[in-house]
Structure formats: structure tokens, C-alpha cells
């Protein structure tokens, strides 16, 4: 300490120079540390981005490796989001620190090539005037050589406006009669909200899971106060006006040769508590066997999970039903049922899930990384999962092919695997206790083996019921936002709107744009031609007028 003090000069100018040199060295050290931190953050973000791309490619090529694949992809995307934000933040800090020095080079991230902005977006030119004199010699004889354009994507905040429909009154000089054009059509009598506003309110509530109270708060902040009761009135208007479209979708869905069926829980407000209601979905999707019919989904709501509900939903249906082993479907498979029996097709994904829970290697790896004891992994369950995955691998090669071609491939490649799987399960099941979890998973399949192997003789049948589960995914995600349905009527309204929104999405149609156009046209559209407004036949009014 004393030696260091003695080494310092006594001259004030020398002390200032030493202090400036120390500060310069500190700035260089800070810049180097910031650059190293930015490089590390960039490397972490790059690794996360590549891992996400690899997992997506694996899912696209080989299909889901586990039941949690989609959930894991969502988590990886969230992790990538945080890492990219941190890397950019560290890059900017490294540039600031490098600017204080003359020896440290600023770190610049290597970003992927950005796609050009869409051509349909309007362009607003902001011209920056060039110099009036040469920056080199000061001469005024300048001529334009060209221009460089830098594009910046910008958004205009939502604009509210009031449209005034002015109808002139004319009187006849001969008979003194008054003539006037008829009033414009509204989605509902005495309607005050335009179709785009109605579609936005409905889609925000049912498509984006934003309750009406949150919408009312946002509209008030934008300078347009609309009460909660007024917004709820518009939801009732939309449901009543769009009811004919729901019925057309319902008729289309139940005209299918094969349906996917499933249900999920829906909390519903009750006196002093919340009850657990049910949302049912039936999906028509002929794409896997090359059918020409467009896909569609029909939702229903019930207060409980009684078997009477699916029996009433499918009261007039005859065909193939792909669903889980819910006891409420049993009466539908009765050969003496009127107007005819329904053919049961079991879901291999449900059966695989029972084995997968007992052979979750990924979960064990995660627990091991967290320092937790690993759970038991059943070798029999792992073997069953691998045998079932072999069947799914074959299915991916024939997805979208005609039904006859699918049956031919299945009889050649899938039939031997199915026979081998059944014999293996029968052999292993005889050695297990009836209380064993693997035995219960095997019994689930062996007791319904005829339903599980029906796909070998019918090319229209899929191996899984994932189509219905995907249709219900929006409800499962939205429950965290809207918490519960307000009443049974609210559940029924939600089911109608889900039918419209999910069907539009299945046909690659923007639900909000479609709802807005339908609400604008349905009042004056002929009843006999309402099918023209269905998502798979719909054309926007501008495109139709141009045609």
C-alpha cells in the first residue's frame, strides 16, 4: 500500500495523465468485456435458433417423436425470443463501449437475411433533399445521378371513424311524390356498429381469447368508450345473424363419410363456484385419403359429459367415428341403431400415450439434469412405443394418397407389424399382474383390437384422432385468459363462434376478414345462395366485383 503510494507522482499534471490512462485502460477493458458478452449472447441465440430449426425439420420429416413435441417447440420458441432480445441488447451495449475507445472494434451480429417487405403494402416516399452545392469543391452545377431507397416498416395506429350514409330526398314537380333511396342494410335491425367492428369484437373474444371487459378498456384508451353491456349486445347480434352459416357448416360436417370426435373441459360460472362443462367437437377432414370435400369443424357445449350429448349430436349420422374409448359412444356402435350403426375406429395416439407415460426418456433426462431422481422406465412400455411408432412411420408415407392406395400399402407393410404387435402383447400380458400399469395399457388395446385394426381394411380411416385434438387446442389455450364461461348460453354461443372461426382457419382463410365480409353481405344475400359465403367457396366482395 505504502509502496504504491510512493510510486505515484507528485505533479498534478502527471497525476491527471495517469488518471486518464487508467480510465482509457478501463474503457478498453469494459469494451472488450462487453464485446465478449455480446459474442457469447449471439452464440447462445444462434445455437437456440438452430436447435429450433432442427426440431421443426425433424417434426416435419419424421413426425412427432413424443406427445409433448409441440409443447416443447413452444418452449424453445419462447427461449429463443429471450436469447435474441438479450443478444441484441448486449450488441448495442458493446457498440457504446467500443465507441469510447480507439483500439476495440465494435461487435456486429450476423443476422439471417431479411425477407423483402410484401409488395401489397402501400409505400410512402419521404424524400430527403440532396445538397445544393458540391461537398467537394462547392460547385453549384449538380445533376441527379440516382437515388438510394431505405425501407422502414411502420404501422399506423388503429383509426376509428363514423360513416354517414346520406340519403337525399327528391320530390316530383308533377305529382309531388317524394322519392328516396332505401336505407342501407345492417347486420341487425337498428344496428349502429359496422361489419368490420362487429367482426373485430367477435374475433378478439373467441379467436384471440380477449374478454369483453379488456376490449372495453382498450377502446376507452383509444378515445372510443363503449360499455361492456353494449359490446355484449353486439356479440349476441353476431351469433344470431351468423346462425344460418353455423347450420350450413353443421350439415356439411355430418355429411362426411368419416368424422373425428373429441371433447375438453370448459369451466362455467355457477352459484358461488365454477362447474366443469364440456365442449364437444366433430371434425370433417378428408385430406388424409385425398377426398375433395373441404375441412370443417362443428362445436357443441354441454354442462356435463353424459353420453346423451354425443348421442344427440350424432343422432342422424351414419359412417365412421374416430374417437377415444369414451363410454358415451358405446350406444352409437349398436348394430341395431336407427338410422344405422356407426363404425368405431380407435385412436392409436391415445393407446400410445398410455405406454409413453411409462417410457418417457425425455422426462427422465430432464429430471437427471435438475438433480432429481429418475423415474422408472418400463422396458415393455418402451418396446410398445417403438412398435407403434413403426406403424406411424408407414402412415406418413401415404398421407394424402387415395384410399385404395393406402389400403394396399397397409396390407403389405402395416398388417405384419400389427399381427406381430398383437402376438407380442398377448405373450407379455400373460406374465403381468392385472394391477400393473403396462398391463392396463395393453388391455386397453387388446379389448378393442378390432377397432384398432380397422384401418387395415379401410383407407379412409386415420391412425390417430389428432385432427380433433388440434381443433380443441384453441379452447385449451384460451381457458387461461377468459377463465370460465359466464353461463350455459354463453357456452353455446362460444360453440357457434368456434365452429365458424376454426372452420375458416382449417381452410386457410383469415377468420376476421371472412366474418366482416359475411356480416356486411348476409342481410341482402339470397337465402338460397348462402353456401357461396362459406369459407371454402367465399370470395371477398372486391374480388367478386372484379370478376
- Candidates 159, 154, 151, 131; CA nearest to 143 is 131
Distance CA 215, CA 222 (A): 11
- Given the DSSP bridges, would you call strands 273-284 and 296-302 parallel, antiparallel or unpaired? antiparallel
> pLDDT digits over 272-297, tens only?
667 788 999 999 999 999 889 999 99
How large is the C-alpha radius of gyration of the chain? 33
pLDDT of residue 56: 76
Burial (0-12, 13-18, 19+ Cβ within 10 Å), 75 = exposed
Indicate if the alpha-carbon torsion angle 307, 309, 312, 313 is positive or negative. Answer: negative
Which position has the higher pLDDT, 434 or 506? 506
SS3 235: helix
- For the stretch 376-418, pLDDT in tens is 678 898 899 999 999 999 999 999 999 999 999 999 999 999 9
Where helices occur in 63-127 by DSSP H, the ranges are 69-99
DSSP bridge pairs for 300? 280
Full-model pTM:
0.78
CA proximity to 284, closest of 310, 263, 257: 257
DSSP-assigned beta bridge partners for residue 225:
none
The alpha carbon of residue 209 and the mean position of all alpha carbons in its chain are separated, in whole angstroms, by 12
Arithmetic mean of pLDDT over the chain = 84
For the chain, domain boundaries = 24-110
Percentage of residues of the chain with pLDDT beyond 90: 36
427-466 pLDDT, tens digit each: 999 998 888 888 999 999 999 999 999 999 999 999 999 9
Q: In the Cβ-directed half-sphere of 40, how many Cα atoms lie within 13 Å?
A: 6
Give mean pLDDT, residues 99-119: 76
- Give me the DSSP letters along 355-406: HHHTT-HHHHHHHHHTTPPPPP--HHHHHHHHHHHHHHHHHHHSTTS-HHHH
Q: Which pLDDT band, with edges at 50, 70 and 90, does 1 fall under?
A: very low
Amino acid at each position: 500500500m505504502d509502496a504504491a503510494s510512493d510510486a505515484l507522482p507528485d505533479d498534478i499534471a502527471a497525476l491527471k495523465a495517469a488518471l486518464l490512462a487508467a480510465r482509457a485502460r478501463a474503457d478498453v477493458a469494459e469494451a472488450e468485456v462487453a464485446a465478449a458478452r455480446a459474442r457469447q449472447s449471439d452464440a447462445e441465440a444462434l445455437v437456440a435458433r438452430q436447435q429450433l430449426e432442427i426440431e421443426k425439420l425433424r417434426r416435419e420429416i419424421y413426425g412427432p417423436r413424443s406427445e409433448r413435441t409441440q409443447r416443447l417447440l413452444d418452449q424453445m420458441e419462447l427461449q429463443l425470443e429471450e436469447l435474441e432480445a438479450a443478444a441484441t441488447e448486449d450488441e448495442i451495449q458493446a457498440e457504446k463501449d467500443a465507441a469510447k475507445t480507439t483500439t476495440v472494434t465494435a461487435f456486429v451480429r450476423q443476422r439471417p437475411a431479411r425477407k423483402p417487405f410484401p409488395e401489397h403494402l402501400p409505400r410512402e416516399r419521404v424524400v430527403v433533399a440532396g445538397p445544393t452545392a458540391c461537398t467537394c469543391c462547392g460547385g453549384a452545377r449538380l445533376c441527379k445521378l440516382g437515388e438510394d431507397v431505405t425501407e422502414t416498416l411502420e404501422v399506423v395506429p388503429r383509426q376509428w371513424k363514423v360513416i354517414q350514409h346520406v340519403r337525399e330526398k327528391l320530390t316530383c314537380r308533377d305529382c309531388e311524390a317524394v322519392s328516396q333511396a332505401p336505407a342501407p342494410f345492417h347486420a341487425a335491425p337498428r344496428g349502429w356498429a359496422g361489419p368490420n367492428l362487429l367482426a373485430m369484437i367477435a374475433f378478439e373474444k373467441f379467436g384471440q381469447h380477449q374478454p369483453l371487459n379488456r376490449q372495453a378498456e382498450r377502446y376507452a384508451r383509444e378515445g372510443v368508450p363503449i360499455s361492456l353491456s353494449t359490446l355484449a349486445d353486439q356479440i349476441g347480434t353476431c351469433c344470431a345473424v351468423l346462425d344460418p352459416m353455423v347450420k350450413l357448416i353443421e350439415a356439411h360436417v355430418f355429411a362426411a363419410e368419416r368424422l373425428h370426435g373429441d371433447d375438453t373441459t370448459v369451466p362455467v360460472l355457477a352459484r358461488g363456484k365454477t362447474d366443469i362443462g364440456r365442449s364437444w367437437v366433430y371434425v370433417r377432414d378428408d385430406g388424409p385419403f385425398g377426398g375433395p370435400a373441404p375441412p370443417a369443424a362443428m362445436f357443441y357445449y354441454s354442462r356435463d359429459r353424459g353420453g346423451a350429448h354425443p348421442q344427440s349430436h350424432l343422432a342422424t349420422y351414419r359412417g365412421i367415428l374416430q374417437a377415444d374409448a369414451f363410454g358415451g359412444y358405446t350406444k352409437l356402435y349398436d348394430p341395431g341403431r336407427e338410422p344405422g350403426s356407426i363404425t368405431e375406429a380407435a385412436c392409436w395416439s391415445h393407446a400410445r400415450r398410455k405406454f409413453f407415460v411409462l417410457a418417457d426418456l425425455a422426462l427422465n433426462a430432464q429430471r437427471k439434469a435438475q438433480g432429481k431422481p429418475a423415474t422408472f422406465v418400463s422396458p415393455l412400455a418402451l418396446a410398445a412405443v417403438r412398435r407403434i411408432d413403426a406403424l406411424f412411420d408407414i402412415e406418413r408415407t401415404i398421407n394424402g394418397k387415395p384410399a385404395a392406395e393406402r389400403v394396399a400399402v397397409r396390407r403389405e407393410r402395416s398388417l405384419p407389424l400389427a399381427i406381430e404387435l398383437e402376438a407380442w402383447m398377448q405373450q407379455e400380458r400373460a406374465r403381468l399382474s392385472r394391477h400393473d400399469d403396462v398391463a392396463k395399457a395393453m388391455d386397453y388395446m387388446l379389448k378393442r383390437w378390432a377397432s384398432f385394426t380397422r384401418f387395415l381394411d379401410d383407407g379412409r380411416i386415420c391412425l390417430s384422432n389428432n385432427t380433433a385434438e388440434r381443433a380443441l387446442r384453441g379452447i385449451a389455450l384460451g381457458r387461461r385468459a377468459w377463465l370460465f364461461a359466464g353461463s350455459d348460453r354463453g357456452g353455446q354461443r362460444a360453440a357457434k363462434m368456434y365452429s365458424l372461426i376454426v372452420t375458416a382457419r382449417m381452410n386457410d382463410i383469415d377468420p376476421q376478414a371472412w366474418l366482416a365480409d359475411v356480416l356486411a353481405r348476409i342481410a341482402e344475400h339470397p337465402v338460397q345462395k348462402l353456401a357461396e359465403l362459406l369459407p371454402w367457396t367465399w370470395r371477398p366482395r372486391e374480388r367478386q366485383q372484379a370478376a
